[in-house]
Amino acid sequence: MNFLAHAWLARGGSDDFLWGNLIADGVKGSDLANWPEEVARGIRHHRRVDAFVDAHPVVSELQRSAPGAQRRYVGIALDLVWDHFVARELGLATCPSPLVRRTYRVLAARRAPARLAVMVPVLVEQDWLCGYADFDFTCRAIAGIGRRLSGPNRLAELVPWLEREHERLDQAFQRLWPEVCGALEVPIEGRVTRP
């Protein structure tokens, strides 16, 4: 899961909790003592979501079916693909979203750590979260991440497979997302709402 999915799952918490979920990929190590308590809770929540998704049979099946040379990069691509399907579920292609506005406000309020510090302002300025509703945009974002990695752009090489497997990826998301929400969605005011 990427920014949008993590934001959806964490939206029932405080802004500090949400921020922790959003910046967790830029935080190294397990010692979170230097982070405010709610931010640390958010970082831990993000990591639980990632562990749940990475261990899910749907993800394992997709990784095994990916082209061999790109197989180790499938997890990175799937994180953005899941955001594509979340954006579609939330109807972000056609209407503004309170969730996206809140997410951008929380991200813009303070500097993200490490490697996210450069990317987050661009994400907000260019409205990537709504952009993910468009699969072509999502594929361009995946290839863009691949340009920042060393060596050949294996993520860009993976895009034709993602395009061919779009329907299968959608079916996988329809199996995965309800389970992720059921296990890890933070309730709003004591209740859980679905997209």
Give the tens place of pLDDT for each residue, 63-97: 999 998 889 999 999 999 999 999 999 999 877 79
pLDDT value, residue 189: 60
pLDDT value, residue 194: 44
Residues ≥6 apart with Cβ < 8 Å to 2: 79, 80, 82, 83, 132
183-190: long-range contacts, CB 8 A cutoff, minimum separation 24:
183/52, 184/9, 184/45, 184/48, 184/49, 184/52, 185/8, 185/9, 185/12, 186/9, 186/10, 186/11, 186/12, 186/13, 186/17, 186/45, 187/12, 188/11, 188/12, 189/12
Strand segments, DSSP code E, in 21-76 are none
Convert the pLDDT of each residue in 16-29 to its tens digit.
999 999 999 999 99
Task: Flag residues of the chain having pLDDT under 70.
Answer: 189-195
pLDDT value, residue 152: 86
pLDDT value, residue 190: 47
